[in-house]
Chain A
Amino acid sequence: MLRIPCPWCGPREEIEFRYGGQAHLAYPDNPGSLSDAEWADFLFMRDNPKGVWAERWMHNAGCRRWFNVVRSTVDHRISASYPMGAARPPEGDA
Chain B
Amino acid sequence: MTEAPDRYWRAAEPKAAYDVVIVGAGGHGLATAYYLAKNHGITDVCVVEKGWLGGGNMARNTTVIRSNYLWDESAAIYEHSLKLWEGLEEALEFDMQFSQRGVLHLVHDLGSRRSSMRLVNANLLNGIDAEWLDAQQVKEFCPIMNVSPDVRYPVIGGTLQRRGGIARHDKVAWAFATRASELGVDIVEHAEVTGFARGPEGAVTGVETSRGTIRANKVALVAAGHSSVLASMAGLRLPIQSRPLQALVSALYQPVLNCVVMSNAVHVYVSQADKGELVMGAGIDAYNSYAQRGSFHVIEHQMAAAVELFPMFAHARMLRSWGGIVDVSPDASPIIGPTGIPGLFINCGWGTGGFKATPASGWALAETIAMGEASALARPYALERFSTGALIDEHGAAGVAH
Contacts and interface: CB of A to CB of B under 8 A. Distances in A.
Partners in one complex: yes
Interface of A: 1-2, 14-15, 18-19, 21, 36-37, 39-41, 43-50, 53, 55, 71, 73-76
A87 B61 CA distance: 39
A14 B239 contact: no
B229 A50 contact: yes
Which of A2, A41, A53, A76: most chain B Cβ within 10 A? A76
B237 A1 contact: no
A contact patch SS: mixed
B242 A73 contact: yes
Contacts of A74: 290-291
Interface of B: 226-229, 232, 237-242, 286-291, 295-297, 330, 386-389
Contacts of A53: 288
A75 B286 CA distance: 15
Contacts, number: 71
Contacts of B226: 50
A48 B240 contact: yes
B240 to A, nearest CB: 6
A76 B242 contact: no
A14 B297 contact: yes
B241 A46 contact: yes
Nearest to B227: A48
A52 to B, nearest CB: 11
A44 B291 contact: no
A2 B241 contact: no
Given A1-B296, A36-B387, A50-B229, A44 B239 contact: yes
Contacts of A43: 386
Contacts of A14: 286, 295, 297
Give the most central of B232, B297, B386: most A CB within 10 Å: B386
A46 B239 contact: yes
A52 B214 CA distance: 30
A17 B229 CA distance: 27
A83 B38 CA distance: 56
Interface-central residue, B242, B287, B290, B387, by most chain A CB under 10 Å: B287
